[in-house]
Amino acid sequence: MSEPDAPSAHTHETAHTADGVALLPHAFRALEDVVALLAPALDQVQEVEDALWDVLGATLADATGHALDQLGELLVWPRGSLSDADYRAVLLVVVRCNRSAGTGDELLAVVAALMGATGYTLEEFHPAAVLVSPEAAPSLGTATLHALLKRARSSAVKLHTLDVLEGTAFELATGERVETDTDHGFSDAGGTSGGRFAGVLA
Q: Indicate the pTM of the whole model.
A: 0.58
Q: What pLDDT band is residue 4 in, cutting at 50, 70 and 90?
A: very low
pLDDT of residue 155: 82
Judge if the upstream peptide bond of residue 127 is cis by omega within 30 degrees of 0.
yes
Q: pLDDT tens digits for 31-84?
A: 888 888 888 998 998 898 888 777 655 678 878 898 889 889 988 999 989 999
pLDDT tens figures, 80-105: 899 999 999 999 899 889 888 888 88
Max CA separation in the chain (angstroms): 95
Express as a percent the part of the chain with pLDDT over 70: 83
38-45: long-range contacts, CB 8 A cutoff, minimum separation 24 = 42/16, 42/17, 43/16, 43/17, 45/16, 45/17, 45/20
pLDDT > 70? residue 166: no
What is the reported pLDDT for 169?
65
